[in-house]
Amino acid sequence: MHSPSNILRHNVKQLDDRVLAYVADYFQALSEPLRLKILNELRGSARNVNDLTTRLSCSQANVSKHLGVLARRGFVVREAQGTAAYYRIADAAVYELCDLVCGQIADRLRDEVAALKSLDGAAERRRTSPASRAR
């Protein structure tokens, strides 16, 4: 028999469509800038809707909607406190993901910057060397 982890991680061929949909859904939840901002605000401490609304300067309805999305996916949990609703991270593992992605993006950017720099250097060399001016 397989452990769940084995099924998901190593059954490379013929990935079950439901699992695939689940993974896609997971990524989808993280594919909105505002939701990323919300998750970022929740690093460290729980916050209520009003807090988030002002800190992110967007509409209350919109924040509530996105929090709903995150809650339905199990990324955050709601906790009522008086008339306020505090949300906190339920699955801190998302941050691993975000950091991994950020790291990868940083690597890409570094590469692009390096490429641009070398292009720039080449252009500089062309500019200062009259020989290559001839075409």
- Selection from 70, 80, 79 nearest residue 37 by Cα: 70
Q: Nearest distance from residue 6's CB to DNA, in Å?
A: 27
Establish if 118 lies at the interface with DNA (CB under 7 A). Answer: no
Distance in angstroms (rounded) separating the CA atoms of residues 108 and 46: 33
> Which CB, 107 or 127, lies closer to its own copies?
107
Distance in angstroms (rounded) separating the CA atoms of residues 76 and 90: 5
Q: Which stretch binds DNA (CB under 7 A): 30-38, 91-99, 106-114, 119-127?
A: 30-38
Establish if 82 lies at the interface with its own copies (CB under 8 A). Answer: no
The only residue of 45, 62, 104, 132 in contact with DNA, by rule CB under 7 A: 62
Establish if 60 lies at the interface with DNA (CB under 7 A). Answer: yes
Instruction: State the first-to-last Cα distance of the chain, in angstroms, to the nearest integer.
Output: 69
Distance in angstroms (rounded) separating the CA atoms of residues 66 and 58: 11
Which of its own copies, DNA, none has residue 80 at its interface (CB below 5 to 8 Å by kind)? DNA
- Selection from 95, 46, 39, 99 nearest residue 69 by Cα: 39
Q: Which residues bind DNA (CB under 7 A)?
A: 28, 32-35, 48-50, 53, 58-62, 64-69, 78, 80, 82-86
